[in-house]
Structure 1
Amino acid sequence: MAAIRPLAMVVLELLHEAPMHPYEIQQKIRERRLDRLTKVTVGSLYHAVEKLERDGLIAVVETSRAGKRPERTTYRLTDLGLDAFRSEVVTSISAVAVEHPRFAMAAQHLHTVRPEEALAGLRARVLALGGEIAAVDAAISELGAREVDPLFWIDLRYSRAMRQAELDWVERLIEQLSSDELPWPEAAHRRIEELEEDRR
């Protein structure tokens, strides 16, 4: 079976707790701020639920209507869904996947821009990372104050640790580039000048 998409994993996680209808799933996503893991819209949520049902990972428990409210369909995990969900969790935490982050690619090409441009970009990244860390800290504080079980938002602790590690690394890189501890290759300087000259 193909990897389960992030929004589908969020749906399966919530149905792992209890059968729910999509509106209830949407409320839980808001309460726990699970939209930090993937983009969620009403349309994308209903699409994810429909696909999970087509794939046999969830099934209808009942369809009901309360007063003049729209009809609501409650879903539950199937045995296939439970096995697929657990397998995806274990595979994803145990396997180190090859990822191609944009920042790593840009860092590889750092020597192709002028040192002052690189340093300006890196300093801007430091500010952005600081802002992201502050936002994560605020989310952790809010969820803690609401007494949401910490295991439900452990990904925030992971995200904060990764951003802090990146911030520390970028700040150290700025120090190295600013002090010539990590000098710009002379050949790279020459090539930048040649390309600029060709443009004139």
Structure 2
Amino acid sequence: MNTPSALEEMMAALRCLPGVGPKSAQRMAYHLLQRDKSGALRLAQALARAVERIHHCVKCNNYAEEEICSLCRSLKRDAGLLCVVEMPADLLMMEQAQCYRGMYFVLMGRLSPLDGVGPRDLPLDRLLRRAQENIGEVILATNFTVEGDATAHYISTLLAAQGIKVSRIARGLPVGGELEYVDSGTLAQAVLERRVVTG
């Protein structure tokens, strides 16, 4: 049986999503066509609108519909603090934690030589310009992976050479964590990053 070319094109398009192989794409396509045609149209229209309207904020590099996003325009945020994160999802987690009220810069990735991502593939020149705009401290909140640590080290060297104060978020034990269940690397880092308790 020959599959209609439009259906093949739909399946091929669905495969661009992470974790979606041929079988998953086929199931999704058949589901949308058989059970939810209005959902398929809504999805197509939403994707087309998003691709047309969404770009990068000129200040923080996060996704936005405006030239400057609402976070960067907010007068309630501390304009002297700049938190650098890898991805928009990391920014959302920081906001959900309600532990930070400064500005952001989203790298849209991290240094990863094995994946062919070097310093020229990240907007480090824009970050440097942003950090020089009356920023008192840059907080590096990249992930605690080999790539995230390498990215943090590279950025801290770049910014420190410009005389910009740089800090890195701490790592350690999770809230509610028990020592016997924590891996040795996390425990060792928690001991190294211990702080003085005042009575």
Give the structure with the higher percent helix: 1
TM normalised by structure 2 equals 0.32
Higher RCO (C-alpha under 8 Å, 6+ residues apart): 1
TM normalised by structure 1 equals 0.32
* Structure of greater Rg: 1
